[in-house]
Amino acid sequence: MNTSATTFEAGSTTAQPTLFLPALIGFFFSFRVFSVVLTVRVLQQDPQVGVAISLGVNFLLLLLVVFQTFGPAPRTLRSLLRLPGLFWVLFFLGFSGCSLIWSVADSLPAAAAFWGGMASDWAMVILLLRSGSISEVSSSLMKGIVYGACCVALVAWILPAQSDLRLGDEDFLGPNAIGYACGFAMFFAEYLILVRREKGPWKFSLVFLGITLLRSLSKTTIIAFIASGITLLLLDKSISRKTKVIVVLSLIVIFILFSSLLVSYFSDYTDTDTGDQAESLSGRLGIWAYILNEAVDKPLIGHGFHSVWHVIPPFYSSHFEARHAHNELLQQFYAYGAVGVVMLIGLYGSFYRQIKKLPASPLKAMLFGLLVFILIRGLADTEAFDLSLPLWAITLFSTLMSEAMLSPSQLDSSDATLPVSNLPLQTLSPS
């Protein structure tokens, strides 16, 4: 038996070679938020063309992954699917797919295509993890995500500001999407810096993405990231006190520079006189009340996948069309009823329990920070199809945590390889 096929790195902190396909997929995961904007503003095509291009690239990448990973592999899909939390991932994928049968979506073919895109994301990640070095695949995927988010941030700065001076496009890309893309990618940069100890532009990327997140004025995402940052600084003992002081002082300076914008927008957000605006606090309350009223009509299995867009009528004088419920728990209840609530609790509860079992380490601190970020962000925003913490990301981090649990001493600084016979991911594929 080939020894290299029966070992993988546990907690390796040496620089990992960047694999092209995982990095490309990671870049796509981040940058696709701009697909419609670029198609309309640059190519002068309809928005539907941008959506079709994004889905087409998604399925093309899946085909490339299937082609590359076909054949013998260091581990089987069955061994990966036995990882903690993967039951809930599969349950969510299966139930959301079945909900297309009773979905009230404006276009069932479009809903099926979007579900296929979500499933494709997950399939690409798990196939890559099955066939390659977990350290190399995960690091390459994360690097692609960070690079993609930096490109998102760069384009966001180049685009003309919206009428309210926030980043984004008035018609096709809100500042919340930009803020989330930047905020989410920052956790992958943190992983590369704190856990893998990789050298490269990751610290610069972290600063650039952080400033862009603040400039986006995506209020919930900013608050969520601040809370996650506090969690990380409190839990990660590997960060020196001097570094923590520098980080805090730098944040204070940046907030002072943006203080006038922040005060203005938070004032508008809480102003009851702006209740006809979807971005105000009272405006969000109106959206939540309406969708909750609709959700209780189908309390058991909900309205199905992709059942908000062009189904829920426009809100307020601005004719704001919601793509989702702007609250993760409410979104799952509306789409999948009580089953959706159970799935959400199962997914995040399983993820929390897996983090809690980790020994004290930068990985544990970073993942606790990520969970705090996701939960707070979910109070006032969510995703139209996937969860705020995507299914592919849950699978990726579950794999990394299972790897880390095998050798807790390797989480901080050293390299090691472990025999496959000791691993839950050990079985060689017979085909």
* Residues 14-26, mean pLDDT to the nearest whole number: 86
Angle between helix axes 108-131 and 391-405 (nearest 10 degrees) is 20
Neighbours of 405 (CB within 10 A): 16
Q: Look at residue 404 in the predicted model and tell me its pLDDT.
A: 87
Which pLDDT belongs to residue 286?
84
What lies within 8 Å, CB to CB, of 246 at 6+ separation is none
Residue 272 has pLDDT above 70, yes or no: no
What is the percent of the chain with per-residue pLDDT over 90, rounded to a whole number? 62
Between 386 and 266, whose confidence is greater? 386
Helix (H) or strand (E) holding 43: none
Nearest in space to 165 (alpha carbons), one of 175, 151, 173, 155: 175
The C-alpha atoms of residue 392 and residue 411 are separated, in whole angstroms, by 22
How confident is the model over 101-112, as pLDDT tens digits? 999 999 999 999
Measure the CA–CA gap between 347 and 345, rounded to whole angstroms. 6
Tell me the C-alpha distance between 388 and 183, whole Å. Answer: 12
Instruction: Say what the pLDDT of residue 276 is.
Output: 42
User: How is residue 5 annotated by DSSP?
Assistant: G
Residues 6+ apart with CB under 8 A from 186: 149, 206, 209, 210, 213, 225
For residue 390, the cross-strand partners are: none
Q: Enter the DSSP assignment of 417.
A: E
Look up residue 69 and give its amino acid: T
Give the mean pLDDT of 133-161: 94
Residues 122-140 pLDDT 10s = 999 999 999 988 999 999 9
Determine the Cα–Cα distance for residues 319 and 231; give it in Å rounded to an integer: 39
Within 13 Å and on the Cβ side, how many CA atoms surround 217? 23
For position 270, what pLDDT does the model report? 59
Measure the CA–CA gap between 79 and 138, rounded to whole angstroms.
18
170 band by pLDDT with thresholds 50, 70 and 90: confident
How does DSSP assign 283-352, residue by residue? HHHHHHHHHHHHHTTSTTT-S-TT-STTTSPPBTTTTB--SS-SSHHHHHHHHHHHHHHHHHHHHHHHHH
Instruction: Give the pTM.
Output: 0.88
What local confidence, expressed as pLDDT, does residue 213 receive? 95
Residues 181, 190: Cα–Cα separation, whole Å: 15
How confident is the model at residue 3, as a pLDDT? Answer: 37
Q: What is the pLDDT of residues 366-416, one digit of tens each?
A: 999 999 999 999 999 999 899 999 999 999 999 999 988 876 544 543 333
pLDDT band at residue 428 under the 50/70/90 scheme: very low
Give residue 13's pLDDT. Answer: 52
The helix/strand/coil state of 145 is helix
pLDDT per residue over 273-329, tens digit each? 544 466 666 678 888 999 999 999 999 999 999 999 888 888 876 667 888 889 999
Residue-wise pLDDT for 195-247, tens only, equals 998 888 999 999 999 999 999 988 899 999 999 999 999 999 988 899 899 98
- Predicted pLDDT of residue 383: 92
Q: Which of 427, 430, 410, 429 is nearest to 79 (CA)?
A: 427
Contact 254, 245 (CB under 8 A): no
The answer to whether 352 touches 223, Cβ cutoff 8 Å, is: no
Query: For residue 7, what are the β-bridge partners?
Result: 419
